Amino acid sequence: MSTRLLTLQVNGRKRETAAPAGAQLLEVLRDQLGLTGTKQGCDGGECGACTVLVDGQPRLACITLAASVEGRAIETIEGQSQGGALSPLQRAFHEHLGAQCGYCTPGMIMAAQALLRSDPHPSEERIREALSGNLCRCTGYVKIIESVRAAAGDPA
C-alpha cells in the first residue's frame, strides 16, 4: 500500500504525517497524530461520534478522506480547551451532566460548537436539528440539550 505525505492544519497547528493512500481522516487524527478525542463509533457515518469541524462545519471523520481536507482548518475536541481550561461549551456539558458516558460527547460538542458559532442563541428546535446526526446510546438527549442551552446563556 502506498503512502502519501499530508500537511494538515489541526487545531490551528500545521501537522505533517505520512498516511496510507485513501486513509480516512479519523485514522489519521487518531493513529497518526495521536488525537484520540475524536471517537470511532459506527465507522459508517451514522452515529456522529467522529464529528470534527472542517472550515468550521461539522464533518464525519470516519467517511472523510484525509487527503480531501489537506490545507483546510480542522478542529477536534482537543482544540476546544484553551490553556488546559474547558471551553464554555465543555464546561456546560460537565456542569449540566451532558457528558453521560462520554463516548458521544466529543462529536456532540463539535456539532454544538458549529451551531453556536453560527447561531449564538439557538432555539431548542435548532439545537435538536444541529445534533440530529449525533447518536447518544446512554440515557437520552435531555441533559445534552440543556448543556447546549446553558452554553448559549439560556438557563433552560
Q: Which residue has the cell 446563556?
A: 153
Shared-domain flag, residues 43 and 108: no
Give the bridge partners for 8, in sequence order.
Answer: 15
SS3 sequence, 114-150?
A: HHHHHCCCCCHHHHHHHCCCCCCCCCCCHHHHHHHHH
Question: Residue 15 is part of a domain; what is its CATH number?
Answer: 3.10.20.30
Mind listing the pLDDT tens digit of every residue in the chain (156 residues)?
799 999 999 999 999 999 998 999 999 999 999 999 999 999 899 999 999 999 999 999 999 999 999 999 999 999 999 898 999 999 999 999 999 888 999 999 999 999 999 999 999 999 999 999 999 988 789 999 999 999 999 865
Which residue range is the domain that position 102 belongs to?
88-152
The residue from 35, 62, 79 where one domain ends is: 79
Question: Residue 135 is part of a domain; what is its CATH number?
Answer: 1.10.150.120
pTM beyond cutoff 0.85: yes
Shared-domain flag, residues 70 and 35: yes
C-alpha distances (whole Å) from 50 to each of 27, 39, 78, 111, 119 are 10, 5, 13, 10, 22
Residue 24 makes CB contacts below 8 A (sequence gap 6+) with 61, 62, 63, 64, 65, 66
Question: What is the per-residue pLDDT for 155?
Answer: 64
**What are the cell numbers at 3?**
503512502
Q: How many domains does the chain have?
A: 2
> 111: which DSSP letter?
H
